[in-house]
């Protein structure tokens, strides 16, 4: 999803990108790009990007073509099932979306190749370096107390015996964390409410618009387009308010202070790669929109799936709470020792639980890139201009890499377990790989761990009869319909013990 500046909304790693020579900065000058993070030799950007292969194979067509509509109904109806089934057809499969042809990359090794060997579509390096600088270990460590404080405030409004809408609570929490931990600002309550009301239209619009066979369809007065445009206007207002209030002190504007350490301050101090002058406010705003998207919907979705799995597996929940109870604990007024990045790093079971949640429930149903030139993807020749669609869920649920892949099993990530920790580089890509690996990965893992620790040391999650999460694809793979009852707990109290004994 893009803001007014055209930047993607839901992920800073890039939902829709062009790869190949013409999509790379400096391509017209034939500059060399040097080795990428995975060690792949750099190529002249003016050349066609190729991958070693034996002979070109014909890209097979997906079955089930419907006249005029192509495969669009099947893809929109069940994206994960449709893409997963194509793996039996070929490593790269042609599908039709109306008059448009798109190639779906189903082979996990070729998905890895697409993200690494064909990754010459980076944003301006100076800006990306700044984003990386915002997520160094030192800066992430400084954000941990803020994330804990925001989470503690949120869950402090919960009451024993109450039932909460998990997705709603996690969406509100993720937005508060982004605005305060990354931008040093506090949103007004009405702005936060408007953002959450607009979010479904934002993510739905991204999904549908990414599949339009022609860009002109985005300008038609269709309900999905009108909803998307209206929701995007809300996002613009929220970002503008954040930029205006970011880094202010509590007394001046409701921010969290320390304005020189916020992402906003870093962006405003970044030189434009083209001119050497500081980024203008339009560029700063563009990057802010990207980070807003990446820090809200995908994070909230992952947290919702976490509680879904903990409700389904009470023994896992009890074991997780037992480990988290050993963490430092701040006083109710915030004084004393709180969570630290070092302490979070000493939680092996928590790390395995979060890893398993992101494996089984990758937040994005699919991502899309476009070939700027003819490229070779394994044995397949992909013509210039072709959209390349791929899903991170497919390799995460591939039985060739993960034994019993639909089973939630945190211990599959133990080093001595086959098909888990040693599953290979193609088997687990929750934050992408290569040059487009998510710059906020370290922050995201820390955020998930802090939220889990803060919630589970205060509350025992309990299932609600008749409530279960439904896997609904709307931009992200959402867990809709999940309710959770709350029981106040103390560290090591009876609630944890009862949960451990609830299921054999």
Give this prediction's pTM. 0.78
pLDDT at 2: 43
Residues 316 and 375: their CA atoms lie apart, in Å, by 45
pLDDT of 152:
95
Per-residue burial over 101-112, b if 16 or more Cβ lie within 10 Å, else e, is bbbbbbbbebbb
Identify the pLDDT of residue 48. Answer: 38
- Give residue 40's pLDDT: 37
Six-digit token pair at 441? Answer: 């990965």
Q: Which CATH superfamily is domain 16-502 in?
A: Cytochrome P450 (1.10.630.10)
- Whether residue 438 is annotated as binding a ligand: the answer is yes
| Domain ranges within the chain, ordered by starting residue | 16-502
pLDDT at 332: 60
The answer to whether the beta carbons of residues 461 and 483 sit under 8 Å apart is no
Parts of the chain with a pLDDT under 50:
1-53, 121-126, 249-257, 259, 495-504
């Amino acid at each position: 999803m893009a803001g007014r500046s055209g930047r993607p909304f839901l992920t800073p790693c890039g939902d829709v990108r062009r790869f190949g020579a013409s999509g790379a900065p400096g391509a017209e000058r034939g500059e060399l790009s040097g080795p990428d993070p995975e060690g792949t030799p750099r190529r002249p950007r003016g050349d066609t990007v190729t991958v070693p292969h034996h002979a070109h194979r014909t890209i097979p067509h997906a079955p089930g073509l419907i006249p005029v509509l192509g495969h669009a109904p099947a893809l929109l109806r069940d994206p994960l099932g449709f893409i997963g089934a194509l793996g039996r057809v070929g490593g790269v499969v042609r599908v039709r979306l109306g008059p448009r042809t798109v190639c779906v990359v189903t082979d996990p090794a070729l998905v890895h190749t697409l993200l690494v060997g064909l990754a010459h579509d980076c944003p301006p390096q100076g800006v990306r370096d700044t984003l990386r600088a915002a997520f160094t270990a030192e800066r992430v460590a400084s954000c941990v107390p803020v994330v804990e404080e925001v989470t503690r405030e949120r869950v402090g409004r919960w009451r024993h015996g109450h039932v909460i809408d998990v997705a709603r609570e996690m969406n509100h929490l993720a937005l508060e964390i982004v605005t305060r931990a990354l931008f040093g600002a506090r949103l007004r309550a009405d702005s936060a409410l408007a953002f959450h009301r607009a979010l479904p239209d934002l993510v739905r619009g991204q999904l549908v618009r990414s599949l339009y066979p022609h860009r002109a369809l985005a300008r038609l007065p269709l309900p999905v387009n009108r909803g998307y445009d209206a929701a995007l206007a809300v996002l613009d207002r929220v970002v503008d308010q954040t930029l205006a209030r970011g880094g202010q002190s509590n007394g001046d504007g409701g921010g969290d202070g320390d304005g020189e350490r916020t992402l906003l301050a870093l962006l405003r101090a970044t030189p434009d790669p083209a001119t050497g002058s500081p980024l203008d406010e339009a560029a700063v705003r563009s990057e802010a929109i990207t980070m807003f998207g990446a820090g809200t919907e995908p994070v909230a979705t992952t947290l919702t799936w976490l509680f879904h799995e903990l409700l389904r597996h009470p023994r896992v929940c009890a074991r997780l709470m037992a480990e988290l109870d050993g963490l430092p604990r701040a006083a109710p007024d915030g004084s004393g020792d709180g969570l630290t990045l070092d302490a979070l790093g000493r939680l092996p079971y928590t790390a395995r639980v979060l890893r398993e949640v992101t494996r089984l429930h990758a937040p994005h149903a699919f991502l899309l890139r476009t070939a700027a030139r003819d490229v070779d993807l394994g044995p397949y020749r992909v013509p210039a201009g072709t959209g390349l669609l791929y899903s991170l869920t497919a390799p995460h649920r591939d039985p060739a890499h993960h034994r019993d892949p639909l089973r939630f099993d945190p211990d599959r990530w133990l080093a001595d377990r086959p098909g888990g920790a040693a599953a290979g580089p193609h088997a687990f890509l929750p934050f992408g790989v290569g040059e487009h690996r998510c710059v906020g990965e370290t922050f995201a893992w820390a955020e998930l761990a802090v939220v889990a620790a803060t919630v589970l040391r205060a509350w025992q999650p309990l299932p609600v009869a008749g409530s279960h999460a439904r896997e609904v694809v709307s931009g992200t793979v959402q867990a809709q319909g999940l309710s959770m009852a709350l029981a106040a707990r103390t560290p090591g109290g009876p609630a944890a013990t009862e949960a451990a004994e609830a299921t054999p």
